[in-house]
Amino acid sequence: MITARYHREVPQRFRLEANKCVSCGHINFPPRLVCPKCKGQKFDNVVLKDEGKLLTYTILRVAADRFSKETPIAVGIVELEDGVKITTQIADVDVDTLQIGQKVKLVLRKIQEDGKAGILCYGYKAVVI
């Protein structure tokens, strides 16, 4: 991964920084320039809540090459308490015990490595609470 490209997403991946539409209140994660709900273009900066519930999930048994040593990988869509939905891995869990509706919390973890000599890439993963 090119360092600049990785660096651009750090505010979201490390700190869950989002923006909230001034006119309709819709929260965008990542921040957007145009509100998809009302087309508004004025936003306040907000930080997402780090707890939510699992809406759906899967266990990846086969992954792209750079994740292939980590299978099985639990991945799901989490709805955070402020209504924002995100895709994230679910860490530290017996994958066979996962259930839709489970409460989770986001924590900072290593997500991937850029080959043998590249940078380590971090971001959020969910853990069951």
- Interacting residues toward another protein by CB under 8 A: 9, 30, 36, 55-67, 70, 73, 75-77, 85-89, 100, 111-112, 121, 123
- Shortest distance in whole angstroms from residue 65 CB to another protein: 5
- Shortest distance in whole angstroms from residue 41 CB to another protein: 19
- Shortest distance in whole angstroms from residue 126 CB to another protein: 10
- In degrees, rounded to 5, the angle at the alpha carbon of residue 114 between the alpha carbons of residues 113 and 120 is 50
Taking alpha carbons only, the member of 67, 87, 104, 92 closest to residue 13 is 87
- Shortest distance in whole angstroms from residue 80 CB to another protein: 11
| 92, 26 Cβ separation under 8 angstroms | no
Q: Which is nearer to another protein, 87 or 116 (CB)?
A: 87
Q: Which is nearer to another protein, 119 or 121 (CB)?
A: 121
Taking alpha carbons only, the member of 98, 120, 101, 100 closest to residue 111 is 120
CA 73 from centre of chain? 15
